[in-house]
Amino acid sequence: MALKETLAKKIEEHRPRTQRLVKEFGKVKIDEVTIEQCIGGARDIRSLVTDISYLDPQEGIRFRGKTIPETFAALPKAAGSAYPTVEAFWYFLLTGDVPTDAQVAEVTTEWKTRQSVPQYVFDAIRALPRDSHPMVMLSVGIMALQKDSKFAAFYNSGKFNKMTAWEPVYEDASDIVARIPVIAAFIYNLKYRDDKQIAIDPNLDMGANFAHMIGQDNKEYQDVARMYFIIHSDHESGNVSAHTTHLVHSALSDPYYAYSAGLNGLAGPLHGLANQEVLGWIMEFQKKLGGAEPTKENVSKALWDTLNAGQVIPGYGHAVLRKTDPRYTTQREFCLNTPGLKDDPLFKLVAMIFETAPGVLTEHGKTKNPWPNVDAQSGVIQWYYGVREWDFYTVLFGIGRALGCMANITWDRGLGYAIERPKSVSTAMLEEWAAAGGRN
């Protein structure tokens, strides 16, 4: 069965579960909120629902119930590769089913019909100052596509229907995931390759085509792209990019408005921009080393210098995770299994930071999680393959994150989730409830 039909069936089957929970069990308590959580970024408050992925603090992410290694093992692989295609993963994220080769082929064909980007999108990006951050360019590119939103057209048609509203969301979502690598490659070539653009290769899957379009015509980087987009896709709903996308779409803003907003959140240094920050930090440190080998002593000193200057160690810590991020481990293993990369001086430095930073952060005593997150390891791989413009790294994250955000909002509409509107309180109220030992 084709993806959209399968999805229609799954949504139809799922709806009674959501409706029953609200109608029969709507008043059952699943959490309580403390003042600390209220002031501290709503940390850990259970108030969002998603079935696309779940983040366990110890174990890390599961996509549709599967860990990263299980996901990679289960999905059909790209031709001649040990890695699955992004198209196979998209089918899996949306439906929870491992697709057959034929189902993957259908998605791949469908994306090819969707991936052509209108010229005005490129014109809008080109009109920006060339030194604009590539995340600005990506966000503008997604916004420029909005005028053709099928969801917005459906809403404005006068025939809007809550039961079928997910269908135009699916259409927009699929257009976005198919087009975003093409827009990203355009930005890369515009900014860093003197605007020498490379045409889409219609014979390649999404990851391989992205590699091709940024001038990386080698099998290894094709796998890097596939791995990278898959592992960055989703991290349940509370992180800034996913939550923003969900929040904005909850007002029935179409997927273009929603994901452009999500990208703007991803561009924050405490979130997706951390991968750029990591490389910047490492380069600065390498310069100071002046060719000397990284050791526990000199790395430790650099980490303390950063902390004593009141800055965070980029790539370490996490709002939910309390162990090494399996997305970090997946990329580290890729490095260890890739001759050349394993012995690369930058990877050696990253590995030395991994040996040193958790101890330093533990001694520093502030962070609840001294272990590395995804961003600590991703830049070194890009650097090794020659993608050295590290302000582009968050754009790569944004391509992957589109998969999770778009799968989520398709289901949001399928299940008719409400406009999001948490309640705020004042400081005086908190003080009053603090004095009374709680709110009655």
Catalytic residue among 205, 325, 375, 412: 375
Please report, to the nearest 10 degrees, the dihedral formed by the alpha carbons of residues 9, 13, 18, 19 taken in order.
Answer: 110
Hey, which residues does 53 pair with through a beta bridge?
A: 63
**Cβ-based neighbours of 23, under 8 Å, separated by 6 or more:** none
Q: Which is nearer to ligand HAX, 347 or 397 (CB)?
A: 397
Q: Which stretch binds ligand HAX (CB under 6 A): 77-85, 133-141, 311-319, 379-387?
A: 311-319
- Degrees, nearest 5: CA angle 287-290-296: 90
Q: For this structure, is 232 an active site residue?
A: no
Stretch that binds ligand HAX, among 77-85, 148-156, 266-274, 333-341 (CB under 6 A): 266-274
Mark whether 243 is an active-site residue: no
Q: What is the dihedral of CA 403, 64, 50, 60, to 10 degrees?
A: -90
State the minimum distance, in angstroms, from the CB of residue 147 to ligand HAX: 30
Q: Which among 352, 359, 360, 358 has a CA at the least distance from the CA of 307?
A: 360
Complex with ligand HAX: residue 57 or 96, whichever CB lies closer? 57
Binding flag, residue 279, ligand HAX (CB under 6 A) = no
Q: How far is the CB of 395 from ligand HAX (least distance, A)?
A: 13
133 noted as active-site residue? no
314 binds ligand HAX (CB under 6 A): yes
Closer Cβ to ligand HAX, 67 or 367, answer by number: 367
* CA gap 145, 295 in Å, rounded: 49
Instruction: Specify the 3-state DSSP secondary structure of 127.
Output: coil
Please report whether residue 403 would count as binding ligand HAX according to CB under 6 A.
Answer: no
What residue number has its CB nearest to ligand HAX? 317
- Comparing C-alpha atoms, which of 287, 395, 257 is closest to residue 349? 287
Contact segment (CB under 6 A) with ligand HAX among 14-22, 197-205, 212-220, 371-379 equals 371-379
Q: For the window 220-259, what string marks contact with ligand HAX as x by the rule CB under 6 A?
A: -------------------x--------------------
Give the residue with the Cβ less far from ligand HAX, 117 or 279: 279
| 3 binding ligand HAX? (CB under 6 A) | no
Phi and psi dihedrals of 292, rounded to 5?
Answer: -70, 155
* Residue 367 is a binding residue for ligand HAX (CB under 6 A): yes
Residue 101: partners with Cβ closer than 8 Å, 6 or more residues away = 76
38 forms beta bridges with none
Among 7, 88, 258, 274, binds ligand HAX (CB under 6 A): 274
Nearest to 171, CA basis, from 110, 235, 242: 110
Q: Which of 233, 369, 408, 410 is in the footprint of ligand HAX by CB under 6 A?
A: 369
Inter-residue long-range contacts of 9-13, CB under 8 Å, 24+ positions, other chains counted: 10/95, 10/96, 11/166, 11/411, 11/414, 11/415
Residues in contact with ligand HAX by CB under 6 A are: 239, 270-272, 274, 307, 312-319, 366-369, 373-375
Give me the active site residues, please.
271, 318, 375
